[in-house]
Structure 1
Amino acid sequence: MTYECFATIVIVAEFIFGNLSNGFIVLSNFLVCVTKQKLSSMDKILLTLAISRITLIWEMYIWFNTVCDPSLFMIGKELRILYCSWILSNHFSLWLATALSMFYLLRIANYSWRIFLLLKWRLKKLIVGLLLGSLAFLLANLMKTSITLEEGFHQYGGNTTVNSLGFALFSELTLFNMTMFSVIPFSLALVSFLLLILSLWKHLQKMQLSSRGHRDPITKAHRNAMKIIVSFLLLYATYFLSLLIAWVAEKHHSKLVHIICMITGLMYPSTHSLILILGNSKLKQTSLLILRHLGYRLKGQNTPTT
């Protein structure tokens, strides 16, 4: 059908764009690690976040192909591996983005609260503790998923396919996982954003008499961090809503709506990484150097020789 061809083009474009943007973050940090032998805490978060999102993009792309081409439907163990892999990549993509939001908050915001200063002094331990603590949610998620899938496989037999098991079960299971295990990290990111707004407002109140106005480095850092966090919140909310609508569409057997939801959901791991690149001075500078170098190369190739 025409809409399937158009959807395939858009999905492939998002797939390529997402791999390029996340792959650039991975490659840049890998080169820093090779040359300097050490990565900062920010770079480590960005590196692991990009890896988790590359995995998530590939899994969503595979899932899209199974929707459009029934001959690609997987059975039994392959199906379980794909879904559990999606849970892993989705989990780390969400929690690492949350850790990044808290990192921006504690590095940039200025509060005199005792608990805030305590967290600020122990930022690295806080981030490590947050990610280690999230493993408890991951374990519970995997156990719940394994039990639900096992019941479905037992009901339909050992050679259960996506088609016979039904997309409704997977959509419902996905929606349950997103609802139960995304509330805490999403709330932490939202609180980080609100505290950054309050910190910026207090800072601007102090800067009213300054000749620098709104152009001082602290104001710029606040606004840059807020752009990154709010883009994550909006894109993840869109990602969640796309899964919710896909679940409703599956109950009404609407393949078109299901595909549109996949296109919308894929924007989350693809687009936010570009915003991270533009919001990080080192990554932005490196990307501009690469683009400038490619521009010179293309210009040189197009210049006629005499």
Structure 2
Amino acid sequence: MKSALPSIFTLVIIAEFIIGNLSNGFIVLINCIDWVSKRELSSVDKLLIILAISRIGLIWEILVSWFLALHYLAIFVSGTGLRIMIFSWIVSNHFNLWLATILSIFYLLKIASFSSPAFLYLKWRVNKVILLILLGTLVFLFLNLIQINMHIKDWLDRYERNTTWNFSMSDFETFSVSVKFTMTMFSLTPFTVAFISFLLLIFSLQKHLQKMQLNCKGHRDPRTKVHTNALKIVISFLLFYASFFLCVLMSWISELYQNTVIYMLCETIGVFYPSSHSFLLILGNAKLRQAFLLVAAKVWAKR
């Protein structure tokens, strides 16, 4: 049974890979068609396109890393192979996480209603704020790549001097260095920002509902529905990424104790986030949901 586990996990990852490419590719395709036909595209649709492309890259990187780890582990020893795998993971995960966080900020600025002058200033300049945040994250990405490159170079120098060094432990040490920096700079920070956006959206919704009660209006007004949809998108991102983050962390810990089964299980569950969350984005977007139902109806009619 244990010998069959790699094949089972591989089949699951391939299934998640297909679902992720279809859902993210659907987002890109529908928005690009809309862009060509209308000659314009909203800011949220542009964010969804870039986020979907980054997730396609992340899914491909995870799949390639999985097969290399199973069948071509020696590639990680080479300096070029090690840098490519680590850098590609950092870059794809960076854009995947930060773009989803920026999407949460966009919903907050567009939907929430606060009387604070600072908030109103950001709300009126939401497009510039989003662009500045995105450009600012590139600075952190650049610094992260420089630091990781220094650790890789140091590890390779020690590895070449000691040919009898245990590979699994040295490999874990390299990744653990990357994890420590990535968790603080690229996981916890944007995750915290998205969580704050979620809390502010709840607070804004609460204020809106209180105002509706004072005006003797129901809770099903359009603004309440917009608040609720935004909250669903943000909370789904938080829950999915929390599971992804814990799986990545547990996979590295399992490498330390050389527990292959736990490592494969965590890697398999981790792919679920970039593959499935985009499907929820489709259901939460009116245009994408309508296009998806139309495609699904045509496919069903041909059966």
Q: Residue 262 of structure 1: CA displacement?
A: 0.4
Amino acid at match of 1:114: P
Could you tell me how far 1:170 is from its partner in structure 2?
4.1
CA contact (8 A) 1:171 1:246 kept: no
- Distance (whole Å) between structure 2 residues aligned to residue 16 and residue 223 of structure 1: 30
Equivalent residue for 2:58? 56
Residues 1:45 and 2:42 are matched in the alignment: no
Contact 1:204 1:219 in 2 (8 A): yes
Is the Cα–Cα contact under 8 Å of residues 54 and 95 in structure 2 kept in the other structure? Answer: yes
**What letter is aligned with 1:51?**
I
Matches within 5 A, 1:268-279: 268-279=273-284
Residue 79 of structure 1, CA deviation:
2.5
Secondary structure at 1:213 match in 2: coil
Tell me how far apart the structure 1 counterparts of residues 28 and 56 of structure 2 sit (CA, whole Å).
10
Unaligned runs of 5+ in 1: 299-306
**In structure 1, how many angstroms separate the alpha carbons of the residues matched to 2:118 and 2:73?**
56
Given that residues 24 and 52 in structure 2 are in contact (C-alpha distance below 8 angstroms), is that contact kept between their aligned partners in structure 1? yes
Q: 2:90 aligns with which of 82, 87, 91?
A: 87
The aligned residue for residue 143 of structure 2 is 140
Match of 2:176 among 172, 179, 184: 172
Give the C-alpha shift of residue 133 in structure 1. 0.7
- Which residue of 17, 38, 42 corresponds with 1:15? 17
Q: 1:114 to 1:149 in 2, by over 3 A?
A: same
Query: Contact between 2:151 and 2:174, CA under 8 Å: does it hold in 1?
Result: no
Q: CA deviation at 1:124?
A: 0.4
Q: Could you tell me how far apart the structure 1 residues matched to 2:181 and 2:54 are?
A: 17
Please tell me the residue identity of whatever aligns with 1:123. Answer: V
User: Residues 155 and 174 of structure 2 are in contact (CA less than 8 Å); yes or no, is this contact kept in structure 1?
Assistant: no
The question of whether the paired residues in 2 share the 8 Å contact of 1:156 and 1:165 is answered with: no
Superposed CA deviations along residues 44-97 of structure 1, whole A, max 9, x for unmatched, are 110000001100011111111123224673432133122212111111111111
How far is 1:165 from its partner?
7.4
RMSD: 2.1
Residues 165 and 245 of structure 1: CA distance in aligned 2, closer, same or farther (over 3 Å): closer
Report the equivalent of 1:66.
Answer: 68
- Look up the match of 2:27: 25
Deviations 1:112-155 (A, max 9, x none): 11111110000000000000111110011000111111111222
Q: Name the stretch that deviates more: 251-260 or 289-298.
A: 289-298
Moved more, 44-53 or 233-242: 233-242
Task: State the alpha-carbon separation in 2 of the partners of residues 141 and 274 from structure 1.
Answer: 30
Aligned equivalents of 1:177, 1:248: Cα separation in 2: 16
For 1:113 and 1:284, the matched residues in 2 are separated by 34
Measure the CA separation in 2 of the matches of 1:78 and 1:30.
Answer: 34
Identity score, percent = 47
Q: CA deviation at 1:100?
A: 0.3
